[in-house]
Amino acid sequence: PKITYRVGGDSTTVDAAVGTSLMQLALQNAVSGIVAECGGNAMCATCHVYVEDGPVDRLADVGAAEDEMLDCTMSPREPNSRLSCQIPMTDEIDGLVVRVADEQH
């Protein structure tokens, strides 16, 4: 499955291994703008992305911890805001497009 990250005016599409998170995948592929201070525990809100395109409705719902941290993002929270560490890579979300938030902390 593939995921596209938009960062500023650029976009990068990467091949994803199922089981990693969208945060890990971004770091592994040197996608800029993801800080991920807490290492993927829904405790820092520095892996903020906006889900923009693709199979958006196949994403799992925002969890309670994620919801709480999304109120602490540096860039404004929008209805399509997610923490990328809380999105596991699956075949179902092949083709998803996310925009990395401009400011993470």
Question: In the complex, which residues of this chain contact ligand FES (CB under 6 A)?
Answer: 23, 36-38, 40-47, 69, 83, 85
**How far is 74 from 102, CA to CA, in rounded Å?**
9
As measured in angstroms, the least distance from the Cβ of 66 to ligand FES is: 8
Cβ distance to ligand FES smaller for residue 10 or 37: 37
As measured in angstroms, the least distance from the Cβ of 72 to ligand FES is: 9
Pairing of strands 48-53, 96-100: antiparallel
Answer whether 20's CB lies under 8 Å from 9's CB.
no
The amino acid at residue 22 is L
As measured in angstroms, the least distance from the Cβ of 85 to ligand FES is: 3
